Each structure stands twice: as structure tokens, then as C-alpha cells.
Structure 1
Amino acid sequence: MDSRGHIPVQLPVPNPTPSYWHEPKAAIANYRSADGLPSSADYVIIGSGISGTMVAWNLLEKGVKGKVVMLEAREACGGATGRNGGHTKAASYRTYADHRAHLSPEEALKIVRLEHANIVATHAFAREHGIECESRPCNTVDIVYDKEAFENGKESIEMIRGDVSEGERKEGGVGWYQVWGKEDAIKRFWVSKENESRIVKEKEELQGAFEYAAGSLSAYRFTVGILELCLKRGLQLWTNTAVTEVRPIFRGENGETGGTGFLWEIHASLSIVRTQNVVMATNGYTAHLLPAMQGLIVPMRGLLTAQIPGPKAKFPTPLPTTYSFIYNQGYEYMIPRLLPGSSDGQHIVIGGGLGRQNDGGVSEYGTCDDSTMNQEMSIYLKEAARGYFGVENWGEGKENEKLRVKKEWTGIMGATRDGLPLVGEIPGMKRFWISAGFNGNGMVLCLKSAEALSHLMVGGSRDQIEWFPSSFLISEERMNTEKFEGRRNMKP
């Protein structure tokens, strides 16, 4: 696996698979604030996904003086944020015991509280600012097919319940979980007693389920909605403007820059923008512009599908919860999406499949090419939901099978060595900032990470954001950690 982290990271390809969420495209998809780039700026943000957009929002809300510029290689929100599964879900119990043992009980608690707060804040932001993005706070359920994962999950949930406050254990809180046995899970969540996939050869029997608070939305609509707010507040945006290099401006022995104050020059579209601050919000693509991140943030290609259940499906439209399906080698994730006025009723958006591959998904690490898809994963995902719900609940006849899949698409995530994001000022690189490496969990980490980063960028102290996990902050120690071993949160 470590060798996959040494594959040189490339720029985003110009012809990615069309994203399901980009239909229809936003009005600002190909927005440019002017014909040419400015010669200078106070802040240059590279990347227009949820991280870059929220950094811009926070800087503008803080009333920073000077010019804030955002550069995007593709259309607005053309990367991972505009291609994800639409889930605002933190399966915190799956990493809590490990964080508690290897970080500290206090740090583990900060992480689960931040993830929960990020979900709440995301839906609250959409509501407060009137962003139409299909925001839907709801419960989620993890359907578990591995006995060890189910037992470990129950133990971890008890740890969280024991560590949080009484108020946090109430319904909807960070410590609220419902544990369901096999028979209750079958009745309550319309799933089969065993995986009925024709592709999975091993017998996988349902063990039980965990229910907790989560939600779903169109991350694309949410992010372009915030971008539109930022443009009204003075953000300058250039889409289809790939940054090809970031160089330090020559400094004298004492660090002087000739009186200009600029520290960095950004090369993009045959132009150079000089700036005091650079923000890397490029996630899986980060190492292309910042070689120090090679092997520290590794691209990882994901695959998703949008499907319709059969006309005789036994579950409601829409399904009241989102789902994950956990098995020995990994998991899939799923949301129902209601389409008012459509004859399809609801779309089942399901992604994953890495753990089902013959190589364990190793081939998907280190690739930046989201113009193609892994055909083995594609074949599996096309019938994964049918396998989990079962033929009877799914309600599909042979005449409907070919019409089931409405769309499939890919996107590039960023996996880190230690499974945690990298946030802060990069060591040895003055005013060169980063918020990246979210390991496929960006929608439950990016909002609050951007809040913390923008606080540090304007000179705020670490003590004033004690709620932010110190383990998320970039450091020399983290940059020199062990070899890359793959996505840390894949195994149950």
C-alpha cells in the first residue's frame, strides 16, 4: 500500500465523469470575476469545495481587510464536494476506542463532539441562509453483517455514553445511540436477514444495527450557495483556472521581501498572483502543488451510483433514515433522495465497494483520474442495495433490472497516514495554510475545520479554539510519521 502513496499526484483531469449532483449546473459554475487574474491579493484560496468556500466565508465574516481570491481548476465545486454521497454522518463510535487509546480520552471526546457539532452547524447554516440544498436532518442506521464489528461497536458506544454528559445522551445528542438486534433491525429498516447479493459469495448474516443522529443534503448546492453569498461579500472567484505552481518569493537573510509584504507567488493561467497568504483546500490533489505532502495525503478514487428501487418496493418513499452497510472488509454508505414530481419516486444514492475488490481496493489509492471508473466496483455497486434490502423488499422484477441505475460517477478523496485531517500553518512555510485530508468524511469535518483555520489566519490564539482537536493540527511530527497504510476508517 505504501507504494501507492509515492505515485506522483497530478492536476484534476479536465474530463471527469459527469456528477449526478451537477444536474442542473449552478449559475456560477463557470464564474470568473474578471477576464484576467489580479497581480496581487491578500489571500489566495486554492480549491472551491466546502473547505475553501468555508474558509472564504469565515474570513469575509471576520471583516478581513484586503482582497480574497479563490482559484479553481474546474467548474465551481467540481471536485470531491460536488461528487460525494450527500451524507452528513459521523460514525464516531467506529473510531472512538482507537482515538481514546492512542490519543487520549479528552482528545477522543473532542473529536466526536466536533463531528456532531459540524453536522448540526451544516444544516443550521443552510436553514439560516435559505440555501436550497435538500437539507434533511434525520437519523441514520448502520446495518452490521460482521459479528466482531457488532460487538466492538456496542462496546465503543458504551464508552461514548460513559464519557459524555447526561444531556448529550438525549435523543439527537452526540451520545445518543439505539442498538437494535437482528429481528428488530429486519422489521424496522426493511433489510434482509442476510446479504442477497449475487456477487458476494461468502454468507453474510445480519447481526444487528446502530441508529443515531445524522442527515443528508446536496453538498454541491450547499457549497455553491455559500459561494454565492461570498461573492456578494467581495470574494473574487476564477473557475477553470488551474494553479500549476506555488513559489516562495525571494527573501533576504532577515526574511525581508523588499517592502512588498508578499510571501508567495501563484502561477495560474499564464499569470502570476502575489499574495501574503495561501490556503490549500485541495484535499486529494494537494501534493501536486506541495511535494512535502506526497504520501502524507494520498488521492483515493471513490465510486457512487444513483438507483431506483423496484415498483413493488416494501419500504416507504422516502426512507426515513440514511444507511451504512458494514461487513468484514469495509462498508457502503447510502442516502434516499426524494425527487418531487419525478416518476422515479426516490433515488437511492449508494457508494463504496472498496472492500469488495480482489485487491482490497488498493488500486484506487494514488489515482487522480476521475474520468474513468473501476469496472469491478461498478458491477458490484449496481446491485449492492438490492442485496442488502433483499429481493422482496427491493421489489424489483426482471423487467426493471436494466432500468435500475440512473447514474454512476467517480470522485477523488484524500486519505492521510494517521486517518486525521491536516489543518493549520504548514511548518517552515510562513502564512501557507492548509485544510485538507478528510479521509472521505469531509461533510462532518470541513465546516468546523475552516472555522478553526480562519481563526488562526487572522492571528487568533490556539487557546481561543480549545474545542478544536489538537490532533488535527499539522505539525512536523505528523509530517514525518510512519508509512501510508491506507484509509484508516475502512475496517470495522
Structure 2
Amino acid sequence: MSKKDYYPVQDKTPTKSFWDSENDPFRQFRSTPELPSSTDLVIVGSGFSGSSVSYYLSQYDSPPSCLMLEARDLCSGATGRNGGHCKPEYYQHEEYFNSRYGAKGSADIANFEFKNLQAVKELIETNQIDCDFVLSRAFNVEVTKSGAESAKKNYEMFLKNPYMTMKHDLFWVDGKQAEGVTEVNGALSAVSYTTGQLWPYKLMKALLKIALKHPSNFLNVQSHTLVKDVETLSDGSFVVHTNRGDVKTKKVVLCTNAYTPALQKELNSRIVPVKGTVAHIVPLDENYRKTSVGPYLNNSYIITPEGDYEYLINRPDGSVIVGGAEEVFGHDVEAWIDNYDDTTLFNHPVQSYYERFMSRIFRSWESTKTAVDYLWTGVMGYTFDSLPFVGEVPGESNKFVSAGFHGHGMPRAQ
């Protein structure tokens, strides 16, 4: 990704996400009219990673002075455009991770996500954050023979891994029971386990507001401030160049996910932008008006037909958030791989696909009319091994990265 290509997208308005449906003015928040000339720490990005950094700094009595810079509205990147899942993955990649990192390494990844979900729950409860958080069960559903066979193999390997700490939380179902339990037409097998769902922006807003209330006023938040470059000075400090001026700082944290290669060239082609799409689906009454009366699904879902991947949560108001639709645009590789433009929808019939999605997939929704009232795109940062880059940049003291979450940041970034 070149900086020349990066700037135009970051200066434009993205497609409108359901998570922005309340039009909250805090999204354009600036702590001060102008940027400070210097600070101890600059955080680039206001999503899950950036907001978490600011929150945990606020837990200290005397945190360093900190400046958060966001190119567009606050939390308008991948975090504010996802499907609302805080869903771990435990067994799906056991064969792959075990072959690369051994049983202990594979379990370290899964165990971290198990602990992180509990940590998110504790964080929300401790701070009494209103973000529609629900702790429920997830179903990973296979509807093809090859998918069911692969899932079974990984699940059995997972059970044999002596280092896994959450085996008690998962169960397998197949045969006729799979379709009945999951309500998914044609389900051949499924695995169920504990998962979470939430309103991502509301959680990030709450974390930022907690940090902003710190008695030291350590945090300065600046929306619509595009970072163009991070220059390293001879003394090891940095100058962060933005479209509103320059800021000198001792430390930098890049929480910019798919856009990170524009500021850290060594990650070019190591973090690949991948464009995805998500829809908000509402049930309709007999007169085709929106209604909250629809078949409620008690679980969240991953459904993996051949060459496809759908993820879904049923919201408390009876509506549904679902993402994927690779069946529609997946053949058009240039439309989604190495594409970081979330200001446009796909030039494919995604909306009509999702208007029929619920009645086609779920038995309990077969007679329910539905409509798509929000359809948006977002950009994920994919990596070769599906794992993120987190930590200090090699050879560059005091510059840190938290990026490349492979469409799986909610269970990993907190």
C-alpha cells in the first residue's frame, strides 16, 4: 500500500454502519481546538486496540501525557464496522496451529482468547458499561460433507491437546440432531461454546470517556486528524506529521490495523487489507413495516458452506447483524483482496442476497419477511498466519504496533 493511495480513502466518508445509527456527536470529539506541540505518547487509531491502550493507562495514578489521533470519526475503522462478535476460535485451526507451533503454542492462542472473553465481560461489568453486551453460546455450523469432516478432525485434535483449558465449554453435535439444535437448514454438524456479542462503538466510547475523566487530564483525543508520517529523530524520539500540524513525542503506538503499512513500510504485504461487508437485517410485519417481533435466535453463528463464510448475531431488539456474503463477490478477487476502500459498497447484489438470507438459512425464519436497512463495508488487516503483529517494532525503540487482526480482533485486542 502506498501513502499516495492511503490518503484519499482516509479523507472520505465511509459507508454508514449500523453501529453509527444513533449519530452520536462524540464521534467528532476533539479535546482541544489545536494539537499540542509535544506529548509523551501518541496513539494512532481509536478502535479496540487504541481505546484499550488509553483505558489501561488511565488505571495508573500518574499516566504519561497521551495524544490519540484518528483520521476520521472516532472508532470508524474495523472495530466500528464489524459484526459485533466477541467470539473466540478454539478448535477450528488446531491442525494448522499445532503443525506450526506445537500443542503448547496452539493452546496458548486458544487459551488467550478464552481468558480474553472473560476479561471483556469483567471490564464491562466492573465499569457498568452499557454496550448491549450478551454472553451466550455460539454455533459453528457445517453444511457440507468436507466441512463437517474437517471440523471433526480439528475438534478431535483439540480434545487431545493436553494444554487446552476450556475443553469443558465445548460440545459437538451431528446427524439429525445438528439441524434440529441449530435451526440451520442442511446442517451436518456443529460445535457450541460460550461467546459474546456487543455494540463495539459504545464500548470504545465508554473506555475513552473513562480515560478522559482521569484527574490528570493525561489524554487528548483528536478526531479527523490524519497521520501522514512518523519520523524518527536522531535522539530516538519521534515527530508525528499530520494534516493539522506536527507533534513531537517520546513514544508511538500504531493501532491502525490494515492501514499500518502506510506508516510502517516493513509491514507492506505482511498486513494485507481485505474488504468485507456486513448487513443489519430487520423482520417485517404483514404490511412490510419494520417490527421487533421476529424469531429470536438464542445463539450467535458461524456458518460455512462451500466457499463461503457467514457470521451472525441476533440482537436483543429482534434484528440480526450478519456478515460475509462471499458467495456473491468472492469470485471477484480484486474487489476484496488488497482493497482498503470502505467508502463504497461492493458492485455485486449483496443487498438482495441478505434480504433472503434468514428465510433461506434458518427453519424458524422461513415464513418471516425481512429487509436490509443498513449495509456497509469494512477493511480487515489479514496476515499470513492469521495472527496479529503486537509489540515493539524490531530495531525501533519506543515504537509499538497493534495491528493485523485478520478479521478476528474482538477476541484478541483487549
**TM-score between the two structures when normalised by the length of structure 1:** 0.77
Counterpart for residue 334 of structure 1: 312
Counterpart for residue 85 of structure 1: 83
Query: Could you tell me how far 1:367 is from its partner in structure 2?
Result: 1.7
Identity, % of aligned positions: 28
Which residue, 187, 192, 201 being the options, matches 1:220? 201
Which residue, 167, 185, 188 being the options, matches 1:192? 185
Greater shift after overlay, 381-390 or 121-130?
Answer: 381-390
Amino acid at match of 2:197: S
| Rounded Cα–Cα distance in structure 2 between residues aligned with 1:141 and 1:134 | 20
Amino acid at match of 1:169: K
2:176 counterpart of 1:183 = yes
Counterpart for residue 345 of structure 2: 373
Query: Could you tell me how far 1:40 is from its partner in structure 2?
Result: 0.6
Query: Could you tell me how far 1:191 is from its partner in structure 2?
Result: 2.1
Partner deviation per Cα, 1:74-103 (whole Å, 9 max, x = no partner): 111111111110011123211121101111
Counterpart for residue 362 of structure 2: 389
Q: Indicate how the Cα distance of structure 1 residues 13 and 350 shifts in structure 2: closer, same or farther if over 3 A, else same.
A: farther
The aligned runs of 1:345-364 (5 Å cut-off) are 346-357=318-329, 359=331, 361-364=333-336
2:412 counterpart of 1:439 = no
Q: Indicate how the Cα distance of structure 1 residues 91 and 122 shifts in structure 2: closer, same or farther if over 3 A, else same.
A: same
SS of 2:13's equivalent? coil
SS of 1:17's equivalent? coil
Is the CA contact 1:326–1:332 (under 8 Å) kept in the aligned structure 2?
Answer: yes
| 5+ residue gaps, structure 2 | none
Greater shift after overlay, 142-151 or 356-365?
Answer: 356-365
Greater shift after overlay, 18-27 or 435-444?
Answer: 18-27
| Rounded Cα–Cα distance in structure 2 between residues aligned with 1:162 and 1:64 | 47
| Rounded Cα–Cα distance in structure 2 between residues aligned with 1:48 and 1:132 | 19
Counterpart for residue 416 of structure 1: 383
Q: Indicate how the Cα distance of structure 1 residues 166 and 418 shifts in structure 2: closer, same or farther if over 3 A, else same.
A: closer
Counterpart for residue 484 of structure 1: none
The aligned runs of 1:219-298 (5 Å cut-off) are 219-233=200-214, 234=217, 235-249=219-233, 251=234, 257=235, 263-298=237-272
SS of 1:417's equivalent? coil
Q: Indicate how the Cα distance of structure 1 residues 63 and 9 shifts in structure 2: closer, same or farther if over 3 A, else same.
A: farther
2:53 counterpart of 1:55 = yes
Number of residue-to-residue matches in the alignment? 403
| Rounded Cα–Cα distance in structure 1 between residues aligned with 2:313 and 2:162 | 28
Query: Could you tell me how far 1:280 is from its partner in structure 2?
Result: 0.3
Partner deviation per Cα, 1:344-399 (whole Å, 9 max, x = no partner): xx111110022543526442122221111113261433333332115x73323xxx
Partner deviation per Cα, 1:14-40 (whole Å, 9 max, x = no partner): 211111111213352111111110111
SS of 1:308's equivalent? strand
Bigger proportion of residues as strand: 2
Counterpart for residue 280 of structure 2: 306
Partner deviation per Cα, 1:228-286 (whole Å, 9 max, x = no partner): 1111123110111111111111x2xxxxx3xxxx6110011331110110100000111
| Rounded Cα–Cα distance in structure 2 between residues aligned with 1:101 and 1:33 | 48
Counterpart for residue 456 of structure 1: none
Query: Could you tell me how far 1:166 is from its partner in structure 2?
Result: 9.1
Is the CA contact 1:13–1:369 (under 8 Å) kept in the aligned structure 2?
Answer: no
SS of 1:363's equivalent? helix
| Rounded Cα–Cα distance in structure 1 between residues aligned with 2:115 and 2:366 | 34
Is the CA contact 1:307–1:349 (under 8 Å) kept in the aligned structure 2?
Answer: yes
Is the CA contact 1:97–1:156 (under 8 Å) kept in the aligned structure 2?
Answer: yes
| 5+ residue gaps, structure 1 | 171-175, 194-205, 252-256, 340-345, 448-492
Which residue, 188, 207, 219 being the options, matches 2:188? 207
Amino acid at match of 2:262: H
Q: Indicate how the Cα distance of structure 1 residues 38 and 306 shifts in structure 2: closer, same or farther if over 3 A, else same.
A: same
Is the CA contact 2:133–2:196 (under 8 Å) kept in the aligned structure 1?
Answer: yes
